[in-house]
């Protein structure tokens, strides 16, 4: 998998965790009985995606700068 900037991964993590928690709350408390299971399941999927992006954030290796594009010092 290619390198993703840490700020983007953090935003994706927060977005998925927030929507997942909101989905669980709405699914278990607010939703009508016919929609409870589906909304709760979607919240669990979002929490799983948040966990996946957390794993990506914690395990990705920092990208090394490209040495070909670096300017050489003239002495």
Domain map (residue ranges) of the chain: 11-59
Q: Which pLDDT belongs to residue 2?
A: 85
Q: What gap in Å lies between CA 21 and CA 26, rounded to an integer?
A: 9
CA angle 49, 54, 59 (to 5 degrees): 130
- The per-residue pLDDT for 66 is 72
Tens-binned pLDDT, residue by residue, of the chain (75 aa): 788 899 999 999 999 999 999 999 999 999 999 999 999 999 999 999 999 999 999 999 887 777 776 666 765
The structure's pTM equals: 0.80
């Amino acid at each position: 998998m290619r390198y993703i900037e840490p700020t983007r991964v953090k935003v994706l993590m927060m977005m998925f965790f927030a929507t997942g928690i909101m989905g669980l709350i709405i699914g278990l408390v607010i939703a009508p009985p016919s929609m409870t299971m589906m909304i709760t399941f979607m919240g669990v999927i979002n929490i799983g995606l948040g966990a996946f992006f957390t794993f990506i954030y914690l395990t990705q290796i920092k990208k090394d700068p490209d040495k070909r594009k670096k300017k050489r010092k003239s002495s």
